[in-house]
Amino acid sequence: MMKKQLLAISIGVALGTSPLSGMAATGDASAERIMQELEALKQRVENLQGELEKERARNDQIEQTQSEQAEKVAKAEEKAEAAKPDINVGGAVRFNYTVADNDSAGKDRGGDLAFDTFRLNFDGEINDVILSAEWRWYEYMSVIHHAWVGYEFTDDLMARAGIFQVPFGVLPYNSHNFYFSSLYYVGLEDNYDFGVGTTYTPGDWRFDLALMKNDERGGSSLESYSANIVGYDYDDADAIDAVDGARDSQTVNTLAARAEYDYKVGDKLTLKPGASLKYGQLDGANSGGDGDYYAAAAHLVADYERWNLQLQYTDWEYDLDDPNAQFMNYGYYAGLFTGPLSAKAITANLAYTLPVEWGPVSSLTFYNDYSLIYDKNNDFEDTYMNVTGMAVSAGGLYTYFDIINGRNQPFVGGSMTGDGESNTVFNINVGYYF
């Protein structure tokens, strides 16, 4: 449009100022002069066309430069956005109310209400590198729960390094209640160590492989979330010697492997059979606490509508070079506890989840979790624990109501290398998660 306007103006100007108009009035202009005027007019038009093309080229260059600059700005903004830490911060605060039948003073007080835990969680990723960490504060200790970085090579393959859950048995928990199963207290449920690992999920399979260098505290501290080996001993009276390093030992260089298949039987039933294996070394820096150990498990998780069933058989043994060893010492929750050198265990847990709409209450989960540790070395008596309870979910609140009955069970008035009576504990744990 601009080109046509310039051309019309140029012709008008040329015609208006040339002698051609005079020829129309007088009729005596020569043909030669007319041709010269027309030639000059043609040249002016061509010059104007040239200027127009140059102007158009300059405009095109400006538009291209602006487009390139806008693209560069967009890429820079995208890169800056990707570089921003995408980390979610969460946590929880929890309290316990407890009444135990073997605590007469506590029963006279009507039970005890105590602070349980305050924790902070950090989860997210920075430049495709995944981060997950959790620190916990108790009245008597502050400890790391987990802290790892990971990377997803594909949708099916992920690797992680740091302090993470050892892939063994029913995951993430072989229980539904606040007290876990008896396997937790011998380091075979919800246990966290320091190492590297991978998770591979082709189709309906899940494979986990991890090399755990050592536990999260290096085997030298009783203040830990996980139940970790800190030593061994000959009889219960000398168990405290392990703290002084007289007969110390810790697990190192553990290889853990786990496989599970997700079998959808129908629209309502899903079965997840699996197997797990751990094998590692025992290292005693100041004693004869060297050797090796293993643990193996076969497990099954079944989901049918609102029902959840967990079954597991476990076998383990610690083989120390010291022939006088009778039991292992575990450190966790700022205490020293004992466990057998070898044993077998069965866990059987059943839960039913009922959705409700009672104000903020959205679901009720009813459960019964049973644990039995038997066939211990040195003819130690069996350990059992049965937990019947209900978990209530209401907004950010998650509350456990548990009746725990156990024999030779830590935190239920017993020891795994003892021969005590059965005890019952009623416990309410109220947690606000954010």
Element (H, E) at 245: none
Token pair for residue 32? 């030669």
Query: Domain 88-433's class?
Result: mainly beta
The stretch 338-349 carries a mean pLDDT of 98
The stretch 222-239 carries a mean pLDDT of 83
What is d(CA 4, CA 61) in angstroms, rounded to the nearest whole number?
22
10 in Cβ contact with 47 (< 8 Å): no
- Residue type at position 360: P
The stretch 304-309 carries a mean pLDDT of 98
- Residue type at position 119: R
pLDDT higher than 80, residue 21: no
What is d(CA 208, CA 159) in angstroms, rounded to the nearest whole number?
10
CB half-sphere exposure, 431, CA atoms < 13 A: 18
pLDDT higher than 60, residue 245: no
Q: How many CB atoms lie within 10 A of CB 6?
A: 16
Tokens 């310039």 belong to 6
pLDDT higher than 80, residue 220: no
Q: How do residues 144-169 score in pLDDT, each as one tens digit?
A: 999 999 999 999 999 999 999 999 99
pLDDT number for residue 1: 47
Taking alpha carbons only, the member of 257, 297, 254 closest to residue 279 is: 254
pLDDT higher than 90, residue 36: no
Taking alpha carbons only, the member of 191, 162, 177, 183 closest to residue 251 is: 191
Helix, strand, coil in percent for the chain, rounding step 5: 25, 50, 25
The stretch 27-51 carries a mean pLDDT of 77
What is d(CA 88, CA 163) in angstroms, rounded to the nearest whole number?
19
- Residue type at position 287: S
What is d(CA 254, CA 411) in angstroms, rounded to the nearest whole number?
28
Per DSSP, the residues of 69-99 read HHHHHHHHHHHHHHHS-EEEEEEEEEEEEEE
Tokens 């990723």 belong to 125
pLDDT higher than 90, residue 217: no
The pLDDT > 70 percentage for the chain reads 89
pLDDT number for residue 80: 63
Domains of the chain by residue range: 2-78, 88-433
The stretch 411-425 carries a mean pLDDT of 95
**Residue 269 — very low, low, confident or very high, per pLDDT cuts 50/70/90?**
very high
416 in Cβ contact with 424 (< 8 Å): no
147: left (phi over 0), alpha (psi -120 to 50) or beta: beta
pLDDT number for residue 28: 56
The stretch 216-236 carries a mean pLDDT of 87
The stretch 327-348 carries a mean pLDDT of 96
The stretch 295-310 carries a mean pLDDT of 98
What is d(CA 378, CA 365) in angstroms, rounded to the nearest whole number?
39
Query: 7 by DSSP, 3-state: which?
Result: helix
Q: How do residues 84-124 score in pLDDT, each as one tens digit?
A: 678 999 999 999 999 999 988 988 999 999 999 999 999 99
What is d(CA 379, CA 200) in angstroms, rounded to the nearest whole number?
41
Token pair for residue 409? 């069970």
Tokens 């609140």 belong to 397
pTM, entire model: 0.81
**Residue 306 — very low, low, confident or very high, per pLDDT cuts 50/70/90?**
very high
pLDDT number for residue 200: 98
346 in Cβ contact with 386 (< 8 Å): no
Average pLDDT value over all residues in the chain: 89
384 in Cβ contact with 409 (< 8 Å): yes
pLDDT number for residue 43: 82
Q: In what order do the strands lie in the sheet with 327-332?
A: 228-233, 327-332, 335-340
pLDDT higher than 80, residue 249: yes
**Residue 29 — very low, low, confident or very high, per pLDDT cuts 50/70/90?**
low
Taking alpha carbons only, the member of 369, 354, 367 closest to residue 305 is: 354
pLDDT number for residue 51: 80
pLDDT number for residue 8: 45
pLDDT higher than 50, residue 4: no
pLDDT higher than 90, residue 6: no
**Residue 82 — very low, low, confident or very high, per pLDDT cuts 50/70/90?**
low
Instruction: List Cβ<8 Å contacts ≥24 apart for 126-134.
Output: 126/83, 126/85, 126/86, 126/87, 127/82, 127/83, 128/152, 130/158, 130/160, 131/87, 132/164
At 141, give phi and psi (nearest 5°).
Answer: -170, 160
The stretch 18-37 carries a mean pLDDT of 60
Helices 2-17 and 31-83, axial angle in degrees (round to 10) = 160
pLDDT number for residue 234: 87
426 in Cβ contact with 402 (< 8 Å): yes
What is d(CA 332, CA 230) in angstroms, rounded to the nearest whole number?
10
Token pair for residue 422? 């059965």
**Residue 58 — very low, low, confident or very high, per pLDDT cuts 50/70/90?**
confident
368 in Cβ contact with 348 (< 8 Å): no
